[in-house]
Amino acid sequence: MVDLKKLAYRMRRQIIDMAVSAGGGHIAPALSAVEILISLYFRVLRINPEDPQWPERDRFILSKGHGCCALYAVLAERGFLHRDALKTFCQDGHAMGGHPEYGKIPGVETSTGSLGHGLSIAIGISLAAKNDGNTCRSFVLLGDGECNEGSVWEAAMSASQFQLDNLVAIVDYNKLLATGFIKDVMALEPFAMKWKSFGWEVREVNGHDINEVSRTLNEVPFAEKRPSVVIAHTVKGKGVSYMENNPVWHYRLPNKEELLQAYKELNEGLQSLT
Amino acid sequence: MRNAFIKAVYEQAGKDNRVYMLNADIGVFVFDDFKRDFPKRYINLGVAEANMIGVAAGLVLSGKVPFVYTIAPFVTMRCLEQIRVDVCLQNLNVKIVGVGAGLAYGVLGPTHHAIEDIAIMRALPNITVISPGDPWEAYEATKASVRHEGPVYIRLAKSGEPSLVEHRHNAFQIGKGVTLREGKDATLIATGCMVKNALCVAQKLFCEGINLRVINMHTIKPIDHDIILESARDTGAIFTMEEHSVIGGLGSAVAEVLAEESTEKVQFLRIGFKDTFCEVVGSREYLLAKHGLDVPSVSKMVANSLRGSPVQ
Query: Does the distance separating the beta carbons of B54 and A124 come in below 8 Å?
Result: yes
**B264 contact A CB<8A:** no
Query: Does the distance separating the beta carbons of B60 and A120 come in below 8 Å?
Result: no
Tens of pLDDT, residues B106-157: 899 999 999 999 999 999 999 999 999 999 999 999 999 999 999 999 999 9
pLDDT of residue A104: 95
Tens of pLDDT, residues A173-202: 999 999 999 999 999 999 999 999 999 999
Q: How far is A257 from chain B (nearest CA, A)?
A: 38
Tens of pLDDT, residues A150-177: 999 999 999 999 999 999 999 999 999 9
Rounded CA separation B273/B173 (Å): 28
User: What 8-state DSSP symbol labels residue B78?
Assistant: I
Closest-CA residue in chain A for B20? Answer: A128
The answer to whether A43 touches A239, Cβ cutoff 8 Å, is no
Which segments of chain B does DSSP mark as H helices, in order?
Answer: 2-15, 32-37, 49-61, 72-73, 80-82, 117-122, 135-147, 194-207, 225-235, 250-261, 284-290, 295-306
| Average pLDDT rounded to a whole number, residues B62-77 | 98
Burial pattern B113-140, b for ≥16 Cβ within 10 A else e, equals bbbbbbbbbbebeebbbbbbbbbbbbbb
**A111 contact B CB<8A:** yes
Query: Does the distance separating the beta carbons of B61 and A124 come in below 8 Å?
Result: yes
**What domains can be seen in chain B, in order of their start residue?**
2-156 (3.40.50.970), 174-306 (3.40.50.920)
Confidence band for B310, pLDDT divided at 50, 70 and 90: confident
Question: Of A114, A129, A161, which is closest to B62 when you measure between CB atoms?
Answer: A129
pLDDT of residue A6: 96
Dihedral sign for Cα B87, B90, B95, B100, please: positive
Rounded CA separation A246/A241 (Å): 10
The answer to whether B98 touches B72, Cβ cutoff 8 Å, is yes
Contacts of A114 in chain B (CB under 8 A): 81, 85
Least confident of B167-171, B202-206, B295-299: B167-171
Query: Does the distance separating the beta carbons of B55 and A158 come in below 8 Å?
Result: yes
Tens of pLDDT, residues A59-76: 999 999 999 999 999 999
Query: Does the distance separating the beta carbons of B43 and A117 come in below 8 Å?
Result: no
Query: Does the distance separating the beta carbons of A117 and B54 come in below 8 Å?
Result: yes
Rounded CA separation A101/B91 (Å): 12
Question: Of A124, A161, A162, which is closest to B57 when you measure between CB atoms?
Answer: A124
pLDDT of residue A123: 98
Question: Of A120, A131, A132, which is closest to B51 when you measure between CB atoms?
Answer: A120
**A128 contact B CB<8A:** yes
| pLDDT higher than 70, residue B311 | no
**B64 contact A CB<8A:** yes
Query: Does the distance separating the beta carbons of B57 and A109 come in below 8 Å?
Result: no
**B54 contact A CB<8A:** yes
| pLDDT higher than 80, residue A147 | yes
Query: Does the distance separating the beta carbons of A124 and B56 come in below 8 Å?
Result: yes
CA proximity to B115, closest of B256, B311, B268, B279: B279
Q: How far is A28 from chain B (nearest CA, A)?
A: 25
**A119 contact B CB<8A:** yes
**B209 contact A CB<8A:** no
Question: Of B48, B85, B90, which is closest to A154 when you measure between CB atoms?
Answer: B48
List, edge to edge, every strand of the sheet that includes B219-221. B42-44, B19-23, B65-71, B95-99, B152-156, B128-130, B219-221
CA proximity to A26, closest of A181, A177, A206, A187: A177
Q: Which residues pair with B241 in a beta bridge?
A: B190, B271
Confidence band for B312, pLDDT divided at 50, 70 and 90: low
Q: How far is A53 from chain B (nearest CA, A)?
A: 11
| pLDDT higher than 90, residue B28 | no
Chain A to chain B, count of Cβ pairs less than 8 Å apart? 93
**What domains can be seen in chain A, in order of their start residue?**
4-273 (3.40.50.970)
Burial pattern A194-225, b for ≥16 Cβ within 10 A else e, equals bbeebbbbbbebebbebebbbebbeebbbeee
Query: Does the distance separating the beta carbons of A110 and B61 come in below 8 Å?
Result: yes
* Residue of B42, B43, B55 best to disrupt the A interface, most CBs of A under 10 A: B55
Confidence band for B167, pLDDT divided at 50, 70 and 90: low
The answer to whether A64 touches A141, Cβ cutoff 8 Å, is yes
pLDDT of residue B173: 96
Query: Does the distance separating the beta carbons of B64 and A120 come in below 8 Å?
Result: no
pLDDT of residue A87: 96
